[in-house]
Amino acid sequence: MPKLVLLVALAGALAGCWAEESPPGVTPCSCNNNGTCELDKEDCACCPGDCPCCRAILAAGTDIQDPESTVGDSDGTFATLGPTSTLTLTVGSLIRGDATAGGDFVLVGQVTSDSTVPVTDTCPSGAASGDGYQVEASVDGTEWSLVGFWTKTTSPPVAGQGQPFSLRCATPKLNEARHVRLSPLGDKPAAQLDALVVTSCTTP
């Protein structure tokens, strides 16, 4: 009789363990809704509150004040970039290059140093002059394509939203991207960045 009790207890314990695991073929998905995207265990498909799909979930760089202010939705909090700042933003999902009129992504904020860039058909047709930031995009964070220049003079501007960028302008060509990198141009670039808003986004 004690053997039977032991077997029943063992079976119960095993069933308990199995019940906590995901069914075969389903990716485990955890979300603790703590406001931070923990890439090792959370993704935007199951944790949109912590890891928004169409916004930056990670900001890394050098010589930036408050880089984390660029993560998530546009909320009026800004990262401050200066002459030696570089910033790489990682998006929760993929930016798609579908050439919408408003661009595929928008840098919400403003360059405060004087700079302009020649534009043809909404793509930059030459290098920026003055002090601004070069904008590159990448699928894997290793190979980068020049998409445009973040400058004080935006063309065409999107009212209240910042400066739009289109992957169709990218050189080498890009159809999608997950990372956007800003690096300084000129002598004394300066800018305030609130958020990276992805207007053309692949949701899982």
d(Cα 31, Cα 185) in Å, to the nearest integer? 39
Closest-CB residue for Ca ion?
77
The residues that touch Ca ion, with contacts defined as CB under 5 A, are 69, 75, 77, 194-195
Closer residue to Ca ion, CB minimum distance, 59 or 174: 59
| C-beta atoms surrounding 28 within 10 Å | 8
Closer residue to Ca ion, CB minimum distance, 117 or 193: 193
Dihedral sign from CA coordinates of 155, 156, 159, 161 = negative
Shortest distance in whole angstroms from residue 61 CB to Ca ion: 15
Shortest distance in whole angstroms from residue 71 CB to Ca ion: 7
Shortest distance in whole angstroms from residue 77 CB to Ca ion: 4
Dihedral sign from CA coordinates of 69, 112, 105, 180 = negative
Closer residue to Ca ion, CB minimum distance, 77 or 202: 77
Per-residue tokens: 45: 């498909």
Closer residue to Ca ion, CB minimum distance, 75 or 143: 75
d(Cα 111, Cα 101) in Å, to the nearest integer? 22
Shortest distance in whole angstroms from residue 172 CB to Ca ion: 30
